[in-house]
Amino acid sequence: MDIQMPNMNGYEATMHIRHKMAPEKAEIPILAMTAHAHVTKDDTFRKYGMDDCILKPFEPGELFRKITEYTFKYKVLV
């Protein structure tokens, strides 16, 4: 989830998913994506219900590792 999106930012989108969607969708893992390192230092993304964070520019291997980790951790079917 990109934190800086037009119209609805990533925090707002995550809050909508977590609080207004059916449980099978509301519980899906959400990874924050941002270029702002301070977000990872103060865990702001967790306050909004995001599970983890990836800093931009990101290494594809790191992104795939985290996707794999959360896919198996929460038994998400993709």
Separation CA 33–CA 54 (nearest Å): 5
- Domain with 39 in it: 10-73
CB atoms closer than 10 angstroms to residue 5: 13
Say if residues 4 and 10 touch (Cβ distance below 8 Å).
Answer: yes
Write out the E strands in the chain: 31-34, 52-55
Model confidence pLDDT, tens digit, residues 19-63: 999 998 999 999 999 988 877 778 889 999 999 999 999 999 999
Q: What is the CATH number of the domain that holds 20?
A: 3.40.50.2300
pTM of this structure: 0.84
- How many domains is the chain built from? 1
Confidence tier at 71 by pLDDT (50, 70, 90): confident
Mean pLDDT of 8-27: 95
Indicate whether 5 belongs to any domain.
Answer: no
Indicate whether 66 belongs to any domain.
Answer: yes
